Structure 1
C-alpha cells in the first residue's frame, strides 16, 4: 500500500515531487472547500472533479487550481451554493444560466439536462452561460458516454483573454476547450483539448516547477516565441498566486490557423450564442466565467446503433493496427492515454510538484485544515 504522501523522482517531473494517495487527496481538497464555506456536497463535487483531472493526466485542470478557486470564492467572482436556472426551454434545446456558481455544480446540471432530453428526443442542444470554471471538459463527454450518448462540447471563458490569434501577438481568445465523446462498447473515445497550444493551467504547473513548456508555446509582444511562464505571468514568487494580468505576452493557438479558427468558433458558440459573453472586450466587472454549448446525440434514436457500434469498433481496431513510427510507442486512440494514466495514478498515487503542493498546504493552513497524516 502506498503511503499517503511520499517523495519520488521522475525525468518528466520536478525532482522530489510529492506523491499523494488519490483518496487522501480527494478528502483533503474537499475539507479545504468545506472550510472555505461550501456545503459538503459541493465541496465533494469540486474535489472529485479536480482529482479526476489529475487522474486523467490533465494536471493543468487538477488540484493545482485549489488556491485560485478559493481566491475566486473569497473575492466573490464565483458563488457557492448556486443552481443552474433554465432561461429558455424548447424541449430538445435549452439555455441555462449558472449565476456564477461553481462550475463543478452548474455544469453537471446542464449535462444531466442534455442527457435526459437526448434520451427523450434523440438529440439535444444545451447552452450554459455564467458558470464558474467548469474544469476538464472531457469529464462531461465521459458522463454522456456512460449514458450511451455521443456529445460535442464547445467551451469559452468570458472575460479571459490569454491566447493570440494566428498571425497576432495580442491576446484575443480564451483557451477555448473543445471535447467530443463517442460511446463505443468497451472502447469509448474521448477527444479533449484546449485550442491553445497549451492550457493556461499547464503554464501554471510549469511556473510551479513542473513539466517545462514547449519553447514555442508563448509569444512575446515583439513576436519572439517563448517557453518561459514569465511571458504570461510577469514576475511571481516561487510559491504563491500567479496572475495572467501581470504578463505582457500571450499563449499561442495550436496548429497555427486551424487551432485559431476553432478557438474563434468556441467563442462564437459558447460565448456569443449563449449570451454569456466572449473573451473580450473585457467588461468592468472583472468577472471571468465559462460558457458551454453542448450537442447530444442518441445512436439508438438515430436508427444506426448496431451499424455504428460494429463499424466504429472495426475502424478503431484498423487505425490502431497502424505500424508505429516508434516501436516503443504504439498508435493510440483518443482517451487511451488518459485511461492508462488514471489506472497508474489510482494504483501509485498522484504526482504533484513541491511548489504546487506547498501552495495548497498554505491555503489549508490559513483555513484551519489539517494536512494529511
Structure 2
C-alpha cells in the first residue's frame, strides 16, 4: 500500500493530464476533483480512474478543452451540452449556471447532456451549499450498462447516481450522495486492484447467484496495471435496496438521461453522463428563517438515537466524508498497490520521470 500526500497527489495527477494533452487549468481541476474523492472516502471516483481517463482521452471518448453551450436558456432553466468534455470541467460550469439562476429567481433547474464522467456528484452539491443553496441531482451514465434491475439478471441500468446537498450556517452541509447500484462500479474497480473488497452479494452472475468477485463484472483481467473493462464480464452489479433502489435508478435514467437529452443507458451509445439538477434558495422559500434552526434541531435529535454497538455513533449524511477528509489531510491518502501501480505506469508512459512520481509519497 502507498500513502500519498493530498496536495502532492493533486500535483502528480495534474502533471499526468497535462502530459496527456490537457491545458494546465483543466489538468489541475481533474487532479483536484479526483483527489477530493479519495479524501472523502469515495475511492471509487478518485485516482483509481486516472489510467481509464487517460485512455478515454486518447481514444476520443472524452475531449479536452470543452465548455458547455446553452440549448435552452430562460431565467430559471438551462439545457446545456457538455460536448463530451471532461466532467471535471463541464460539470462545475453547469453548476455555476444553476447557482446564478437560483440566486436570481429562488429556484432553478439545469439539464446537462453529453458530459464526460462527472466523478463525485457530491462535489457539485457542496458547490451549491457553499452558496447557501439546496440542490438535488439525478444522474445517469449513457453507454455504461452495468446494473441488473430488481427481479432480473441482465444488465439494463447504469449506476445512476443520486445526490442531495443542504447548506447549514456555520456547519458542513448535509450531503447524501450515492450510486443506486449496491456498489459503484469504481468500488469494484478498486477491489480488483487489491483495495477494499466489495460485499459478497454486490454482483450477480448470469445464473442468478450472488458474488463479490470483481471478475463477474470484468471477466479475466491483468494481474498488474491495466484498464479493467466492465463490459467484458458475464455478470452485473445489483441495484441497492431491492425494488426501491431499482426504481430510483430507473427514474435517474428517465430524468438524468431522457429528460436532459443525454439519452438513457443502452447498447451502442457513446459514453457520457446526463445530469438533471434542481437548485433551491431556502432564503426565498423560508422568509421567516425557520429552516436552519429546524435542521439543527433534527440533526441533534437524529444523532441522539442509541447506537447498535457499544461505542458506536449515529452519523448524519455527509459526516463520514467530513471525518475521512480531515483524517487523510493529516495522515495521507492510502492507495492500494494496484491503484498506485496504475498511476505510476500511466505517468511513465506519458514521459514523467520517477523523481516526479516519488514526490507524491509521504
**TM-score, scaled relative to structure 1:** 0.94
| Secondary structure class of the residue paired with 1:188 | strand
Selected match of 1:203 from 188, 205, 208: 188
Q: Please, which runs of 5 or more residues in structure 1 have no aligned partner? A: 1-16
Selected match of 2:223 from 238, 250, 253: 238
Partner deviation per Cα, 1:134-169 (whole Å, 9 max, x = no partner): 000111001100000000000000111000000000
Selected match of 1:325 from 279, 295, 308: 308
Q: What is aligned with 1:13?
A: none
Residue 176 of structure 1 contacts residue 195 of structure 1 at CA under 8 Å; is this kept in 2? yes
Correspondence 1:366 to 2:352:
no
| Secondary structure class of the residue paired with 2:32 | helix
Q: Which moved more, 1:24-33 or 1:297-306?
A: 297-306
Structure 1 169/305 Cα, relative in aligned 2: closer, same or farther at 3 Å?
farther
Distance in 2 between residues matched to 1:138 and 1:104, nearest whole Å: 12
Q: What is aligned with 1:134?
A: 118
Correspondence 1:120 to 2:120:
no
| Secondary structure class of the residue paired with 2:289 | helix
Instruction: Count residues with an aligned counterpart.
Output: 354
Q: What is aligned with 2:281?
A: 298
Q: What is aligned with 1:337?
A: 320
**Deviation at 1:187?**
4.4
Structure 1 runs of 4+ aligned residues shifted over 3 Å read none
Superposed CA RMSD in Å reads 0.8
Distance in 1 between residues matched to 2:146 and 2:221, nearest whole Å: 17
Distance in 1 between residues matched to 2:233 and 2:310, nearest whole Å: 42
Residue 24 of structure 1 contacts residue 372 of structure 1 at CA under 8 Å; is this kept in 2? no
Distance in 1 between residues matched to 2:337 and 2:264, nearest whole Å: 35
**Deviation at 1:304?**
3.9
Distance in 2 between residues matched to 1:144 and 1:82, nearest whole Å: 22
Distance in 2 between residues matched to 1:58 and 1:341, nearest whole Å: 10
Residue 197 of structure 1 contacts residue 253 of structure 1 at CA under 8 Å; is this kept in 2? yes
Aligned counterparts, 1:157-168, within 5 A: 157-168=141-152
Q: Please, which runs of 5 or more residues in structure 2 have no aligned partner? A: none
**Deviation at 1:305?**
5.9
Distance in 2 between residues matched to 1:155 and 1:305, nearest whole Å: 33
Correspondence 1:287 to 2:270:
yes
Residue 219 of structure 1 contacts residue 249 of structure 1 at CA under 8 Å; is this kept in 2? yes
Distance in 1 between residues matched to 2:239 and 2:259, nearest whole Å: 22
**TM-score, scaled relative to structure 2:** 0.97
Structure 1 116/53 Cα, relative in aligned 2: closer, same or farther at 3 Å?
same
Residue 145 of structure 2 contacts residue 231 of structure 2 at CA under 8 Å; is this kept in 1? no
Distance in 1 between residues matched to 2:173 and 2:303, nearest whole Å: 14
